[in-house]
Amino acid sequence: MANKQDYIAQTQVAVQHLHNCGAAHVETVFVHEKFRGKTVWKGDVEVFDLTGHPKAKRCYAWLDASGPHNEFMRFVAVLEIPPVDSAQKAVQVQIVKDVKGVK
């Protein structure tokens, strides 16, 4: 990514395409998720207000790297639907989905 503004713009487009709605960037929240004292995820989560989505008014999104050398990149966009009510909770829910292999 060239810079933070480009990253936010690309994340915004990904949210709009993944959830078929409008998205306006609200803030960036740093999340550091640990499990049994070890870091399992750490990074910035972009928070977007949604327009035109039937179930959610907010979405939490980030670019996630995976693979042995972090060579695979994907945009993750988690809707603010209970139990998700914060950036931290969005990361927690996505970690569980990834561990369980849920798409």
Question: What tens-digit pLDDT sequence spans the chain (103 residues)?
Answer: 458 899 999 999 999 999 999 999 999 999 999 989 999 899 999 999 999 999 999 999 998 877 666 777 888 999 999 999 999 999 999 998 888 876 6
pTM assigned to the model: 0.88
Terminal Cα-to-Cα distance of the chain (whole angstroms): 25
pLDDT at 15: 95
CA angle 40/71/24 to nearest 5° reads 70
pLDDT score for 101: 77
Domain ranges of the chain: 4-100
